[in-house]
């Protein structure tokens, strides 16, 4: 057969069929997989919808100008979230101010400057580990370092510093990912034009990585805003009727206000909790919307 | 190479003599002659020509500059290593001023490595090590006190894949001048550079659009404009057309011929037709059994392709190997 001129052509036909022609079965597998994916998405959406409905249906009736402009009260009808809302916004701003420069600078150092040595790898691993430390541990640390050690007392600043520590690993990791995603050719291009390392980072790498960095920071901020446990340890209190001064006074934030109201046996206060959750959700929504807008603006030119 | 007719240019190139901006701290000299003396260490006394020759300034096209040394970049006994791997073995070669020199050779023979020693781009690779001397107008660019940042402004580079910044066309061209502290009229420099790269007419109405919105060939010409804008003397091109279609390739080649009036061009190419079409001098590189690259033959392009001296060169240019 090998000697036969037609051999190579004839042989495959004579042999057993090598391809499984059942198109039906292959298509079925695809359909099943799609079904599983849809189911997962559906489950998620359903949960979200139930949650939102539960909260909104109870909370929205309580949402009015009075609720947004007054402090907590023993009487549900007169209670409001103003100090908690302002506390949350102040903390969010402070956290952003602290984590943005520190986190981005650390990421730039680790990605753009540090050589890939053992110390650097150890640092990276530890930063990843820090991102997994329970938040209550940060609370204890914040209590020891900021409240007692630095003598800041139970102030909003101490709370913001604690939350900053909590989300810094997340910010650093997200920023490093964003920097790493910038094609190497972009750095080479800037170097080839006579850029110093800082000019390359500043002019070429950072603008390209900015949308990713920003996304990471905003997501981390959302986490900081929703955080409760560490703040309990560093002094956020539940009954604050005045607007907080970051360095001098006690303070509260929305999650803690929610925590307190939700634990109250009276039905009206539980509805107040739902209303406060609504406010917190809106705050997060605004923050995320802001992130999307900024991201879209920054990545106008990014299309590789 | 000596027997080749020098490129005689009768018309002054349309770069700048007249449009040169008034006060320029980095001493923009449009042609290769004598620029950059501000930043690089002074040339060695043995070479009186070129530098600071009166009248040499602003008249780059007149390659008559007789006192100017014919060689810009010179590699002397270069060997390169990446970690333990030796990529280049003992290469010596000269790059002639205002000519197009093509480096050809099989994949992995070290052409790009060699090219990147000329503007110290390989310094960015941590495991890279170099032995030998690379001089630029007589100055050792790896010498003590020479900052690679300064070298790279004077020896520009265009890469294989067009890599414009994700910025507007204008900002792409203006990037180099800005980081190098250019204080002349930026608009003029951008326009001049884009014209020089034969791109102005296509983009003059959309300078604010992203550089990435252009076609591949336009992007590569944008990268060339960006390189020209820092007023280099040498332009290194690392397979600049390998990602482009034939039409865009031809445009780039025509542009190279045009630019070689004022600039020294070194091009790495896999495309032998391109080397044959577009270069004045060809250097054939191959690698030994240890995969370290070395120069087999160097000569006028015509001779290398029609009458190579070395058997290996003949095999390569005739397509029997590589």
Per-residue pLDDT, A246? 67
Is residue B9 included in any domain, yes or no? no
- What is the domain-level CATH number for residue B124? 3.40.50.300
Per-residue pLDDT, A290? 83
Per-residue pLDDT, B39? 43
Per-residue pLDDT, B62? 40
Is residue B57 included in any domain, yes or no? yes
Per-residue pLDDT, A296? 82
- B149: chain A residues, CB-CB within 8 Å: 194-196
Residue B130 has pLDDT above 50, yes or no: yes
Mean pLDDT of all residues in B18-41: 38
- In sequence order, what DSSP letters do the residues of B58-71 get, joined into one string? T-TT-TT-TTS-SE
Element (H, E) at B299: strand B293-300
Mean pLDDT of all residues in B227-241: 94
3 state DSSP class of A16? coil
Highest mean pLDDT among A18-27, A175-184, B311-320: A175-184
Residue B34 has pLDDT above 60, yes or no: no
The reply to whether residue B166 touches residue A195, judged by beta carbons under 8 angstroms, is no
Query: In terms of pLDDT, which residue wins out, A77 or B300?
Result: B300
> Chain B: nearest CA to A267, how far in angstroms?
56
Q: Report the candidate in B285, B322, B282 with the shortest Cα–Cα distance to residue B304.
A: B282
Please give the Cα distance from B73 to B53 (Å, whole number). 19
Residue A178 has pLDDT above 70, yes or no: yes
**If you search the block for the tokens 């392709």, which residue do you land on?**
B305
* Domain extent for B183: 17-317
Q: Report the candidate in A109, A223, A84 with the shortest Cα–Cα distance to residue A165.
A: A223
The half-sphere exposure of B22 on its side-chain side, counting CA atoms within 13 A, is: 0
Count: domains in chain B: 1
Is residue B7 included in any domain, yes or no? no
Counting one residue from A and one from B, how many pairs have CB atoms under 8 Å apart? 85
User: Hey, what are B273's tokens?
Assistant: 């037709």
Lowest mean pLDDT among A185-199, A222-236, B195-209: A222-236
B66-104 confidence digits (pLDDT tens) = 567 788 899 999 999 999 999 999 999 999 999 999 999
Average pLDDT, chain B: 81
CATH number, domain A65-301, options 3.90.1300.10, 1.10.10.10, 1.10.3720.10, 3.40.47.10: 1.10.3720.10
B103 φ, ψ (degrees, to nearest 5): -105, 115
Give the pLDDT band of residue B36 (cuts 50, 70, 90): very low
> Chain A: nearest CA to B108, how far in angstroms?
19
Is residue B10 included in any domain, yes or no? no
Residue B4 has pLDDT above 50, yes or no: no
Give the pLDDT band of residue B157 (cuts 50, 70, 90): very high
Mean pLDDT of all residues in A131-150: 92
Smallest Cβ–Cβ distance between A192 and the set B126, B157, B213 belongs to B157
Give the pLDDT band of residue A302 (cuts 50, 70, 90): low
**Angle at B143 (CA atoms; ends B141, B144), nearest 5 degrees:** 135
Q: Give the residue on A whose Cα is nearest the Cα of B171.
A: A203
Residue A199 has pLDDT above 50, yes or no: yes
Q: Where are the domains of chain A?
A: 20-62, 65-301
A234-270 confidence digits (pLDDT tens) = 877 767 777 777 667 778 889 998 988 888 888 888 8
The reply to whether residue B230 touches residue A207, judged by beta carbons under 8 angstroms, is no
Please give the Cα distance from A302 to B29 (Å, whole number). 34
Query: In terms of pLDDT, which residue wins out, B174 or B41?
Result: B174
Q: Are A254 and A84 in contact (CB under 8 A)?
A: yes
Per-residue pLDDT, B163? 93
Is residue B4 included in any domain, yes or no? no
User: What separation, in Å, do the N-terminal and C-terminal C-alpha atoms of chain B show?
Assistant: 25
Measuring CA to CA, how many Å separate B145 from each of B26, B31, B127?
A: 18, 25, 21
Q: Which of B40, B179, B234 to mutate to test the interface with A (most CBs of A within 10 A)?
A: B179
- A195: chain B residues, CB-CB within 8 Å: 149, 152, 179
Per-residue pLDDT, B322? 54
Please give the Cα distance from A292 to A288 (Å, whole number). 6
Q: How far is CA B173 from the centre of its chain?
A: 17
Per-residue pLDDT, B23? 34
Per-residue pLDDT, A15? 66
3 state DSSP class of B73? strand
Residue B152 has pLDDT above 80, yes or no: yes
Please give the Cα distance from B175 to A133 (Å, whole number). 43
Give the pLDDT band of residue A12 (cuts 50, 70, 90): low
Residue B185 has pLDDT above 50, yes or no: yes
Per-residue pLDDT, A76? 77
Mean pLDDT of all residues in B41-56: 39
B277-309 confidence digits (pLDDT tens) = 999 999 999 998 888 999 999 999 999 999 999
Query: In terms of pLDDT, which residue wins out, A112 or B63?
Result: A112
Give the pLDDT band of residue B275 (cuts 50, 70, 90): very high
Residue ranges of E strands in B99-255 = 100-104, 128-136, 139-140, 155-158, 234-238
Q: Are B204 and B154 in contact (CB under 8 A)?
A: no
What strand order describes the sheet that includes B234-238?
Answer: B139-140, B128-136, B71-82, B85-96, B293-300, B281-287, B100-104, B264-268, B234-238, B155-158
Is residue B322 included in any domain, yes or no? no
Per-residue pLDDT, A229? 87
User: What separation, in Å, do the N-terminal and C-terminal C-alpha atoms of chain A show?
Assistant: 54
Per-residue pLDDT, B59? 36
Per-residue pLDDT, B18? 39
A119-129 confidence digits (pLDDT tens) = 888 998 999 99
Q: Which of B149, B169, B222 to mutate to test the interface with A (most CBs of A within 10 A)?
A: B149
pTM: 0.77
Give the pLDDT band of residue B53 (cuts 50, 70, 90): very low
Strand-pair category, B128-136 with B71-82: antiparallel
Per-residue pLDDT, B261? 93
Query: In terms of pLDDT, which residue wins out, B316 or B55?
Result: B316
Mean pLDDT of all residues in A195-222: 90
Please give the Cα distance from B314 to B296 (Å, whole number). 11
Lowest mean pLDDT among A218-222, B224-228, B232-236: A218-222
Q: Which of A115, A184, A189 to mutate to test the interface with B (most CBs of B within 10 A)?
A: A189
Is residue B72 included in any domain, yes or no? yes
Q: Give the residue on A whose Cα is nearest the Cα of B121.
A: A192
The reply to whether residue B166 touches residue A304, judged by beta carbons under 8 angstroms, is yes
Per-residue pLDDT, B67? 62
Collect all residues with Cβ–Cβ distance below 8 Å to B221 and sequence separation of at least 6: B197, B198, B199, B251, B252, B255
What proportion of chain B, given as a percentage, has pLDDT over 70? Answer: 79
Measuring CA to CA, how many Å separate B242 from each of A121, B107, B162, B222?
A: 37, 13, 10, 16
The reply to whether residue A194 touches residue B176, judged by beta carbons under 8 angstroms, is yes
The reply to whether residue A194 touches residue B180, judged by beta carbons under 8 angstroms, is yes
User: Hey, what are B163's tokens?
Assistant: 């890599």
Residue A13 has pLDDT above 70, yes or no: no
Give the pLDDT band of residue A95 (cuts 50, 70, 90): very high
């Amino acid at each position: 057969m090998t000697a036969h001129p037609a051999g190579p052509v004839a042989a495959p036909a004579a042999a057993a069929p090598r391809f499984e022609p059942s198109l039906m079965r292959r298509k079925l597998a695809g359909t099943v997989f799609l079904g599983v994916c849809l189911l997962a998405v559906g489950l998620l959406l359903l949960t979200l919808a139930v949650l939102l409905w539960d909260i909104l249906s109870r909370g929205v009736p309580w949402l009015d100008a009075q609720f947004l402009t007054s402090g907590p009260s023993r009487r549900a009808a007169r209670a409001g979230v103003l100090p908690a809302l302002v506390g949350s916004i102040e903390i969010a701003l402070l956290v952003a101010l602290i984590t943005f420069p520190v986190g981005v600078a650390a990421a730039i150092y680790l990605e753009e400057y540090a050589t890939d040595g053992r110390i650097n790898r150890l640092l990276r691993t530890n930063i990843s580990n820090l991102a997994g430390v329970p938040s209550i541990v940060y609370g204890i640390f914040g209590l020891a370092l900021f409240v007692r050690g630095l003598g800041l007392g139970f102030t909003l600043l101490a709370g913001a510093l604690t939350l900053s520590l909590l989300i810094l690993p997340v910010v650093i990791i997200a920023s490093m990912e964003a920097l790493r995603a910038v094609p190497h050719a972009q750095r080479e291009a800037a170097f080839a034009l006579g850029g110093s390392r800082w000019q390359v980072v500043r002019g070429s790498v950072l603008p390209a990585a900015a949308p990713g960095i920003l996304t990471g920071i905003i997501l981390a901020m959302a986490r900081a805003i929703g955080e409760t446990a560490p703040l309990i340890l560093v002094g956020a209190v539940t009954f604050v009727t005045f607007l907080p001064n970051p360095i001098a006074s006690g303070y509260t934030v929305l999650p803690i206000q929610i925590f307190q109201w939700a634990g109250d046996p009276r039905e009206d206060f539980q509805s107040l909790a739902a209303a406060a959750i609504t406010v917190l959700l809106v705050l997060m929504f605004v923050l995320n919307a802001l992130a999307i807008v900024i991201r879209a603006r920054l990545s106008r030119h990014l299309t590789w | 190479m000596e027997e080749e007719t020098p490129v005689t240019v009768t018309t002054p190139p349309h770069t700048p003599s007249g449009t040169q901006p008034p006060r320029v701290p980095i001493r923009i000299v449009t042609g290769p002659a004598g620029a950059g003396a501000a930043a690089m260490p002074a040339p060695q006394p043995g070479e009186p020509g070129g530098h600071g020759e009166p009248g040499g300034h602003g008249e780059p096209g007149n390659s008559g500059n007789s006192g100017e040394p014919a060689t810009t970049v010179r590699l002397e006994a270069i060997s390169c290593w990446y970690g333990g791997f030796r990529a280049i073995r003992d290469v010596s070669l000269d790059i002639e001023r205002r000519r197009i020199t093509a480096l050809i050779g099989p994949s992995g023979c070290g052409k790009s490595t060699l090219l990147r020693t000329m503007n110290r781009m390989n310094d960015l690779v941590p495991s890279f090590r170099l032995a030998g001397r690379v001089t630029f107008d007589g100055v050792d660019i790896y010498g003590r006190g020479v900052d690679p940042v300064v070298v790279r402004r004077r020896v520009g580079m265009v890469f294989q894949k067009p890599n414009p910044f994700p910025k507007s066309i204008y900002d792409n061209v203006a990037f180099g001048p800005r980081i190098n502290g250019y204080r002349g009229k930026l608009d003029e420099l951008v326009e001049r550079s884009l014209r020089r790269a034969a791109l102005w007419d296509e983009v003059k109405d959309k300078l604010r659009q992203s550089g990435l919105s252009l076609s591949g060939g336009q992007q590569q010409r944008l990268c060339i404009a960006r390189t020209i804008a820092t007023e280099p003397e040498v332009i290194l091109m690392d397979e600049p057309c390998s990602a482009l279609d034939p039409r865009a390739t031809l445009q780039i080649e025509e542009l190279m011929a045009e630019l070689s009036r004022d600039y020294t061009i070194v091009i790495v190419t896999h495309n032998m037709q391109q080397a044959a079409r577009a270069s004045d001098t060809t250097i054939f590189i191959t690698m030994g059994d240890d995969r370290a690259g070395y120069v087999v033959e160097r000569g006028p392009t015509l001779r290398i392709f029609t009458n190579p001296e070395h058997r290996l060169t003949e095999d390569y240019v005739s397509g029997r190997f590589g």
